[in-house]
Amino acid sequence: MSQAFTAAGDEVSYIGNLKRHLPPGFKIKQFWQKLLGQRESPRFNEYVTRHYAAQVKQQLAQLPGHVDAIISPLISPIALLDCQTPIILWTDALYASLTGFYPAFSRHSVSSIRQGNALTRECLNRCQFAIFSSDWAARTATEIYGADKAKVHVVPFGANLVNTPTLADIHTQLAHRPHDRLKLLFIGKHWHRKGGDIVFAVARALHAAGQRVEVDFVGCQPPAGTEIPPYIRCHGFISKRTPAGMAKMTALLRDAHFLFVPSRAEAFGIVFCEANAFGVPVLTTQVGGIPTVVKDHINGMTFSLQATSEKYCQYLIPLMQNYPQYEALALSAFNEYETRLNWRVAVAKVREIIKKI
């Protein structure tokens, strides 16, 4: 995000390395809440947030020259920030939409829920603009927190890639993708939340239906005792921070027909943008912010969480039997990346919003 602002010609200063200051007795309260089966969150705490605001204000005062806007992808550093500089939130989700949606937010204490909602509401009130990566998150701002619709905007995030293929590269890659089998790629660290079990079930159903299929499974490992058929290759975690890891991920994306991540909870999914950058359509679910990223028959296909493996088969098998139709979908997916799902386009839209200040 910040690099895209710099590439657009903006001068970007960084405020960060904030130290967390917990309130007196917090650890004791956290311990007792844990005994009750609840979690006292240090992230959504007024005392902690006030200390963040003080640190941001101090660092802001030390920046040379005039600052036109403060942009934050997180609520905590800006929720209680008092300053004359316009504050802009650009994020993927708000507290109310995450509570009970993501596993980490499923057992928050009454105190954490109260403070989380109060701090979110305060942040939205202080922001000049609240920008969200999806319509789902924007609706949370207006419908649950009552945010002024005039300050709420939707601008999807972009792919976190340094070098991406050109259109000519995509045509070459499509010519080399196999026509005699379906290659699926799963990328995810969390087996259940990312739908690893669904991927395995669909792969088995495709195989049983006579469709030759190969699945590259990246990120998490299947739970102990899970039967792994020969057409599923489990690679474990691959780091994109190393040249070897990036080369491996690039090869997997380049060769895949689909990225298949049927998430049970997802605020956005930058990996979908990255797949589209390689001309790879996405198979996923209609949850959270995903429908803003993945448009049916344009850059992939979304399915209900209740969809059976047969539903996926009914979509995939005829498509692979009509390969020109698949190629058209892949090219359309690349076009979505080029025109909508990259940081250059995203930052250009946000810069136009900032100019309204």
Q: What is the pLDDT of residues 239-279, one digit of tens each?
A: 988 999 999 999 999 999 999 999 999 999 999 999 999 99
Sort 241 into a burial class: Cβ within 10 Å, 0-12 / 13-18 / 19+: exposed
Residues ≥6 apart with Cβ < 8 Å to 287: 263, 264, 265, 266, 305
Confidence band, pLDDT 50/70/90 cuts, at residue 175? very high
pLDDT tens, residue by residue, 161-172: 888 999 999 999
Q: What is the CA radius of gyration of the chain?
A: 22
Q: What is the pLDDT of residue 65?
A: 86
Tell which CATH classification among 3.30.230.10, 3.10.20.600, 3.40.50.2000, 3.30.420.40 matches the domain 2-158+343-354. Answer: 3.40.50.2000
**What count of other Cβ atoms lies within 10 Å of the Cβ of residue 25?**
8
How many helices (H) and strands (E) the chain has is answered by: 14, 10
In the prediction, which pLDDT does 241 show?
Answer: 87
Residue of 227, 219, 8, 42 whose CA lies nearest to 116: 42
Do domains 2-158+343-354 and 167-339 share one topology? The answer is yes
pLDDT of residue 223: 94
In tens, the pLDDT along 26-67 reads 999 999 989 988 999 999 999 999 999 999 999 999 998 889
Q: What's the confidence (pLDDT) of residue 172? A: 95
Q: Which two tokens stand for residue 80?
A: 């209680």
List pLDDT tens digits, range 202-229: 999 999 999 999 999 999 999 999 999 9
Domain ranges, ordered by start, for the chain: 2-158+343-354, 167-339
CB-CB contact of 253 with 185 (8 Å)? yes
Report the pLDDT value the prediction gives residue 163, as an integer from 0 to 100. Answer: 86
What pLDDT is recorded for position 44? 94
Domain 167-339 has CATH 3.40.50.2000: yes
The label of the residue with tokens 């905590």 reads 76
Res 104 pLDDT > 90: no
The pLDDT of residue 100: 87
Residue-level pLDDT at 162:
84
Q: What is the pLDDT of residues 112-163, one digit of tens each?
A: 999 999 999 999 999 999 999 999 999 999 999 999 999 999 999 999 988 8
What separation, in Å, do the N-terminal and C-terminal C-alpha atoms of the chain show?
Answer: 20
CA–CA distance, 211 with 188 (Å, rounded to integer): 24
Q: CB count, 10 Å around CB of 74?
A: 14
- Which tokens sit at 154? 């939707």
Report the mean per-residue pLDDT for the chain: 95
Tokens 């190393």, residue? 242
